[in-house]
Amino acid sequence: EPALIYDLGGKFDKSFNEAAFNGAERWAQETGGTYKEIEMQNEAQREQALRRLAEAGSNPIVTTGFGMSDPIATVSKDFPDTKFVTIDGFVDPAAHPNVLSIGFAEHEGSYLVGMMAALASKTGTVSFVGGMDIPLIRNFACGYAQGAKAANPDINFISNMTGTTPAAWNDPVKGSELAKAQKAQGSDVIFAAAGGTGLGVLQAAADEGILSIGVDSNQNHLHPGSVLTSMLKRVDVAVYNSMKQGEALDTTPQALNLASDGVGYAMDEHNAALVTPEMQAAVDAAAEKIKSGELVVHDYRTDDTCPVATF
């Protein structure tokens, strides 16, 4: 029986963790299997949760969030027969053969929604609200800024991070205040890559009558007519695949990107009216170029810099 551990934002953050939940549900529905799940409440709990699940025979144990990788590195040694998955995190596969690390090319997806933001903006200013200030989130911001600049070289870009701890994933009040502040500075499209905090951003954007962009899951339905699109990070696919492979899980590290459909953007009836065919055509064209390798989006994490923005 597989197990799934959600990170601090909580299972129903409508974003990152909820994507994981959706993947697990899909697996459960398709196979009729059951899985164990735990939501993390604080940092110190992580190891106990891992141990307890491993002790009880769960396999594989899928976890979301980079915070799990260090505890996994410790626990996996005590349970060599159990497979662990760290989504968004990284554990050295040479030293820990039973751990699978799954990463995403967030900059590629963000590039696409950044283009769309710039094309939709009437004020010429677009903005970004990040969760915890870490390279991972800066990578979102950097990809977004690159896309926006590509679509409109004169675009003005604003970025704010919510905080420096995991609490930043779950602070909707701050999210909405940051959104309001960005609106006051002229922004009319806000991309939130901030877990539960993003809900506050999307809410504020809807309240203030400007556009927002969701993240990880498809968040278009949260405020129809206000969410321009969502940058999809297919955590659900990662979870689904891991569970499907079961105990025979292949632990070669994975990097899911646009080409492998690991990231993308969401179109549905909720945002159909917001996205013009021209916008979609421009974005799709860029997507093709990225997939083919013709266009390379800079990955912030490779050198901790961003060519078009500073944080």
Partner 1 sequence: MDRLPRWADLTLVPLVSLLFAAVISALVLLSIGQSPTEALKVMIDGALGSPYGWGYTLYYATSFIFTGLAVTVAFHAGLFNIGGEGQAQIGGLGVALVCLSLPWPHWTVALAAATAGAALFGAAWAAIPAYLQAKRGSHIVITTIMFNYIAAALMVYVLVDVLRPTGQMDPASARFPVGAQLPALNDIPGFSLIFQRPVPANITLLIALAMAVVVWALLWRTRLGYQIRAFGKSEAAAKYAGINPVRITIIAMLISGGLAGMMSINNVMGEAERLLQNSSEGAGFIGIAVALMGRNHPFGVVLAALLFGFLYQGGAELGLWTSIPIEMRIVVQGLVILFTGALDMMVRMILERLFALVRSAKAVRAA
Partner 2 sequence: MDYATLLQVLDTTVRLATPLLLACLAGLYSERAGIFDIGLEGKMLSAAMSAGAVAALTGSAWAGLLAGIGASMLFAALHGLAAITFRGNQLISGVALNFLASGLTVLIAQAMFKQGGRTPPLSGDARFNPVTLPGAEALRDVPLIGPLYYEVISGHSVLVYIAFLIVPFTWWVLFRTRFGLRLRAVGENPAAVDTAGVSVIGLRFAAVAITGILCGVAGAYMATALQAGFGREMTAGRGYIALAALIFAKWRPVAAMWACLLFGFFQALALRPDVVQSVVQMKVPVPLLDALPYILTVLVLAGFVGKAIPPRAGGQPYVKER
Binding site for partner 1 (CB under 8 A): 36, 38, 41-45, 47-49, 52-53, 55, 66-67, 70, 74, 78, 134-136, 164-166
C-beta closer to partner 1: residue 31 or 41? 41
C-beta closer to partner 1: residue 40 or 189? 40
Q: Does 184 bind partner 2 (CB under 8 A)?
A: yes
The label of the residue with tokens 């699978």 reads 100
For residue 60, whether the previous peptide bond is cis, meaning omega lies within 30 degrees of 0, is yes
Closest approach, Cβ 187 to partner 2, in A, equals: 12
C-beta closer to partner 2: residue 21 or 79? 21
Q: Does 199 bind partner 2 (CB under 8 A)?
A: yes
DSSP string, 213-268: EEEES--GGGSTTTEEEEEEE-HHHHHHHHHHHGGG---S-EEE-TTTTSEEE---
Closest approach, Cβ 311 to partner 2, in A, equals: 11
Q: Find, among 209, 186, 191, the residue nearest to 201 by Cα.
A: 191
Binding site partner of 109, from partner 2, partner 1, none, Cβ cut-off 5-8 A by kind: none
Footprint (CB under 8 A) of partner 2, residues 210-239: 222-223
Using CA atoms, how far apart are residues 217 and 235, in angstroms rounded to an integer? Answer: 8
Using CA atoms, how far apart are residues 69 and 47, in angstroms rounded to an integer? Answer: 10
C-beta closer to partner 1: residue 167 or 181? 167
In the chain, how many H helices and how many E strands?
A: 10, 12
Q: Does 176 bind partner 2 (CB under 8 A)?
A: yes
Binding site partner of 67, from partner 1, partner 2, none, Cβ cut-off 5-8 A by kind: partner 1
Binding site partner of 25, from partner 2, partner 1, none, Cβ cut-off 5-8 A by kind: none
From candidates 207, 221, 267, 311, binder to partner 2 by CB under 8 A: 207
Footprint (CB under 8 A) of partner 2, residues 37-56: 39
Binding site partner of 196, from partner 2, partner 1, none, Cβ cut-off 5-8 A by kind: partner 2
What is the chain's Cα-based Rg? 19
> Given strand 189-193, what is the order of strands in its sheet?
156-163, 125-132, 189-193, 211-216, 227-233, 263-265
Structure tokens at 120: 């939709």
Residues whose CB falls within 8 Å of the CB of residue 283, separated by 6 or more in sequence, listed in order: 112, 115, 116, 119, 265
Per CB under 8 A, residues contacting partner 2 are 10-12, 39, 160, 163-164, 170, 172-174, 176-178, 180-181, 184, 196, 199-200, 203, 206-207, 222-223
